Amino acid sequence: MSGAQSSLVPAAGSGQAWLLAVRPRTLAVAVGPVAVGTAVASTSDRANLVAALAALVGALLLQIACNFANDVYDSEKGADNDDRLGPPRAVQLGLLSPAALRCGMWVTFGLAGLVGLYLAFIAGWPVIAIGLVSMLAAFAYTGGPYPLGYHGLGDLAVFVFFGVVAVVGTEYVQSLRFSSAALGASVPVGMLATAVLVVNNLRDVDTDRAASKRTLAVRVGERGARIEYGLLVAGAYLVPLGIWLADVRSAWVLLPWLSAPLAVRLLRTIRSGAAGAALNPVLAATAQLGLVFSLLFAVGYRL
């Protein structure tokens, strides 16, 4: 185990080992898009609490299945090894076997599929298409013959599926329509979700390069990744400003700017050259920023 990982690890095969594989801190990324999509639906009095909760459960299950897949495939491909700088992974530490975690992954995908069937029942066949593509992307991020994360496409995939698809899809299952409003509102959500991945890949740039995991951070280098992070975070705050200036929503849409002090601190840390395990707190704080921003954005969008 690397020095960056805690010596207090759960027993092999235990519930705590499975909880570690779930990676609860990452689940915040799945919550924000549902809140924003529901806020957009509510502006036309089409919000549906049951559908919103189902969309949230489905999003959380897909995130968990993706985490299971990453744990298995990153370990098998050598990206997760004794030099890992991030939080511990279950397969890497021998806490869960690859076979067990694969089984958990497919069970979780199955549960997400059941939620999708319910949503399809109330919102029609487009939900089936959205669900299938989302499950394929969750698996293909590190699995399959052309893993997206290993070919520099992870950033785009996160923006599309944790931003555009999640927000637009959440609005659709409630309003039964695809709107330009939801598309616009999805942009800052996707930007901040992608910023979380950028920190992760910046931290792991050396070990990923050694494992031939050609993330965008590996391709553009550390300086490029730091610039990408700055553009994503700054861009997220510009979108509500643009929505207000375009007179689409009231000045309440600027409510996410209350989280700007946290964003500024994170930008300064990234700009300072922090690297390796020192980026773990930045990763967690960026995920928190995305959640806080999204919740404030959802409230402000509705007011």
**Which pLDDT value is given to residue 248?**
86
- Each residue of 111-167: pLDDT tens digit? 999 999 999 999 999 999 999 999 999 889 888 889 898 999 999 999 999 999 999
- Percent of the chain at pLDDT > 70 equals 94
Cα–Cα distances in angstroms (integers) from residue 253 to residues 30, 224, 294, in the given order: 21, 31, 11
- Each residue of 131-141: pLDDT tens digit? 999 999 988 98
Q: Which of 29, 300, 44 is nearest to 167 (CA)?
A: 29
Is the CB of residue 105 less than 8 Å from the CB of residue 65? yes
Cα–Cα distances in angstroms (integers) from residue 75 to residues 69, 95, 217, in the given order: 10, 12, 19
Distance from C-alpha of 105 to C-alpha of 112, rounded to nearest angstrom: 11
Distance from C-alpha of 39 to C-alpha of 303, rounded to nearest angstrom: 9
Residue type for position 232? L
Please state the domain extents for the chain.
Answer: 26-302
Fold of the 26-302 domain: Farnesyl Diphosphate Synthase (1.10.600)
- Each residue of 65-85: pLDDT tens digit? 999 998 888 887 766 665 566
Q: What burial class does residue 283 get, using C-beta atoms within 10 Å of its C-beta: 0-12 exposed, 13-18 middle, 19+ buried?
A: buried
Instruction: Write down the mean pLDDT value for the chain.
Output: 90
**Which pLDDT value is given to residue 1?**
39
- Each residue of 173-208: pLDDT tens digit? 999 999 999 999 999 999 999 999 999 999 989 888
